[in-house]
Amino acid sequence: ALISLVMLLALSACSTQTVKTTSVTPMLTGNTGIPEEQLLDVGIGIFDPGLDEVDKSRKELTFADVRHAETFYVSHLLSKTLQSNGSWGVVRVVPGNLESSDVAVNGTILQSDGEAMKMRVKVSDASGRVWYEKEYEEVVSKYSYDPKLRRNEDSFQGLYNRIANDMLQYRQKNMNPEKIASIRTIAQLQFAKGFAPEVFDEYLAENRQGIIRIKRLPATNDPMLARIQGIRERDNMYIDTLQDYYSNFAREMEQPYTEFRRLSYEEVMKLDRIQADARRNMFLGVAAILGGLVATQSSSNAVVYSSIGALGAGGFLIKDAFNKNAEAQMRLEQIAELGSSLEQEIAPQTIELEERTVTLSGSVEEQYAQWREILADIYANEIGEEPSNSF
């Protein structure tokens, strides 16, 4: 029985393997003839870096600077994927609040190490109804980084395609024209509430589950609503200009990021081999103790303890090797610099308005916050009141 147990332990230490593929999940396409009034616009929030949720086995291969830059990159890539689907209205990466988006997508990066990408995605609409919350994972092979085999797309494009497919299938299954019209109206009134809550709050009601419904509608010729619509058009135009920043950033990041992930993939493979060897040694050490295959128990214990140590130290060894890799460090610095350029400060923007010229400065998020304050001032001046403090 002991011999059988020894053999079982030895085999279990060698039998686990990860199946990888270079195939990419195809993206579903909906009916391209959907009337414009039936298209839902999508707002994508900047993804959370998820640094507090990194798995212990991958902490040593997670670089905070890279992860922060990835938040912009994956948000843009998802928006690009959804836009190419042809089943939605305008898809934008939004640096601020998503409450007034027809459909809002929020996400957290849980793992990204060159071999695997894992993220948690939550999709909801303007009524507060959560469509779904789900974790997505994609594991790639070394061939995904082979220049001769690489397609002109991200190595993890299949993951983004699955998100797009799930969103489309949910909409097709659960959304009829009446629901879509209601969501679009709620989004419009939510936007209006941000500028004139005392006026537009009475049009909406929220139940205990946080679901918003329309109590009544303002008149179609309501002058305040017309002003709000004008403000919203300006806001959308500004957000559209921000898409250029995210697009340029993704374009500049693509090459160093791909190379960084290729190098990271190689180090992950080394880490997996170290940990697999350590697990095998630990199993054999335990088997030796159980079967009396060595002269003294203390020596077998030494095998076990050293193997446990190797399991924990493998990540540190790999990260040390990664830090000494000149090419990896160069890519890391490139990505960190690109990420900080968006997080810290971009070129000031000068905007010509009818009554004045304004200059916005700071990061993308800071400039957008300044822009919303300017819109609040414009609206207040139009109605002859003090600006709202909602922003």
For the stretch 167-172, contacts whose Cβ atoms lie closer than 8 Å and that sit 24 or more positions apart, written own/partner, are: 167/82, 167/103, 167/105, 167/123, 167/131, 168/28, 168/30, 168/85, 168/87, 169/28, 170/123, 170/131, 170/132, 171/30, 171/40, 171/87, 172/30
- Give pLDDT, residue 53: 87
Give the count of beta carbons closer than 10 Å to the beta carbon of residue 382. 14
Comparing CA positions, the residue from 82, 157, 99, 245 lying closest to residue 91 is: 82
At 121 the pLDDT is: 98
pLDDT at site 310: 47
Three-class secondary structure of residue 384 per DSSP: coil
In tens digits, what is the pLDDT along the chain, a chain of 391 residues? 544 544 444 444 444 444 455 678 898 887 667 888 889 999 999 999 999 988 776 676 677 888 888 999 999 999 999 999 889 999 999 988 899 999 999 999 999 888 889 999 999 999 999 999 999 999 988 777 776 666 678 889 999 999 999 999 999 999 999 999 999 999 999 999 999 998 899 999 999 999 999 999 998 888 989 999 999 999 999 999 899 889 988 898 888 888 878 877 777 676 555 555 545 554 455 445 445 544 444 455 554 445 445 444 445 555 565 566 666 667 667 666 766 655 555 677 788 877 788 888 888 888 889 999 999 998 888 887 665 545 5
Report the pLDDT value the prediction gives residue 15, as an integer from 0 to 100.
43
What pLDDT does residue 327 have? Answer: 65
Q: What is the pTM of this model?
A: 0.78
Q: Give CA torsion, residues 36, 175, 211, 373, to 10 deg.
A: -20
Count how many residues are written for the chain. 391
CB 113 within 8 A of CB 63: no
